[in-house]
Amino acid sequence: MKVLVTGAAGFIGYHLTQRLLTENYTVVGLDNINDYYSQDLKYGRLAELGVEREEIEKTDWVVQSASNEGFSFLKCDLSDREGVMSLFEDEDFDVVINLAAQAGVRYSIDNPHAYTSSNVEGFLNILEGCRHHELDHLIFASSSSVYGSNKEMPFKTSDQVDHPVSLYAATKKANELMAHTYSHLYGFPTTGLRFFTVYGPWGRPDMAYFKFANLMTDGNKIDVYNHGKMARDFTYIDDIVESIVRLIPKPPKSDDTVPYQLFNIGNGSPVNLLEFIEILEKNLGITAEKNMMPIQPGDVEKTWADVDDLFEYIDYRPQVGIEEGIEKFVEWYKGYYD
């Protein structure tokens, strides 16, 4: 099968692409490699997949991996309608996994247009590509952020999510509505995934655990929001990837009224922020100086995923606990940054 993975230079996209290649899928990766966070890290991930920065910058079209025969890569922005449509015309995709998006809750406060361009207009281009080229399954990334300030725990996909507290969350809710509409109108199967705080090696430097590691190793204080009264359903990257791989051959049934489904994809057990910091301190061998801060606009106090329906659908529950996951992250972090 041939799979398009958008956001292939990103955290989840990179790990998923690696796994798909070991499963003998043919993968075409797409990413705009923007400067929201370190481009060196993004190019480093691609280098692990056999595509070097020099090769990407030499051409404006697809680059073949030097070490993975089944992988090729295109530097392209999702909002580039002509580029996306040309890729769909050139490649006969069986499955599309859309992970590309402008990420980050706090960044959306100051840079709102980046979110509508990538997350709304860009996703529309993906939907149009799928509409005009028959495929087996579209899987797309939503976010736990759509739950906003919901108080009832754990979060269920049946909960009302009409009150987002950030523009990022609003664009992810828009993605769910857009995908449902296209599945209804054109009949191709779509699966949306509400990710819950994904972490691990090769992660995103804008995420709290990565920021904390950078600040602590530099001898700086860490900002702890809401005075530490925060909890997140931290989900290790390997559990995310395993779940996606199991979903690929299980699209919504074509005899459904609308071939559309939505799942939480999380660990199912929230961890208190201060406990999380203690585990990070232990693995880094550093005691953090904490700067206690009020909660930031757009943040929520707690996330907790109900993943029972996903478990029943793919027969898999997350396997990696927070202690093991942070240990693996720190091992990679120390090696990568020497």
Q: Where do we find the tokens 């523009």?
A: 167
Phi, psi dihedral angles at 83 (to 5 degrees) = -65, -45
Catalytic residue among 168, 182, 199, 260: 168
Q: How far apart are CA 118 and CA 167, in angstroms?
A: 12
Write the DSSP string, 143-207: EGGGGTT--SSSB-TTS-----SSHHHHHHHHHHHHHHHHHHHH---EEEEEE--EE-TT--TTS
In DSSP terms, 223 is beta-bridged to: 291
Q: How far apart are CA 129 and CA 119, in angstroms?
A: 15
The CA distances from residue 297 to 64, 145, 194, 230, in Å, are 43, 13, 21, 14
Annotation marks residue 168 as catalytic? yes
Q: How far apart are CA 338 and CA 335, in angstroms?
A: 5
Q: How far apart are CA 259 and CA 183, in angstroms?
A: 6
- Residue 193's Cβ-count burial label (10 Å; 0-12, 13-18, 19+) is buried
Write the DSSP string, 56-104: HHH-SS-EE-SS-TTEEEEE--TT-HHHHHHHHHHS--SEEEE------
Phi, psi dihedral angles at 96 (to 5 degrees) = -120, 130
Q: How far apart are CA 136 and CA 156, in angstroms?
A: 27
User: Helix crossing, 39-48 with 11-22: angle to 10°?
Assistant: 0
Q: Helix (H, G, I), strand (E, B), or coil: what is residue 223?
A: strand
CA angle at 63 for the pair 57 and 67, rounded to the nearest 5° = 115
Active site residues: 168
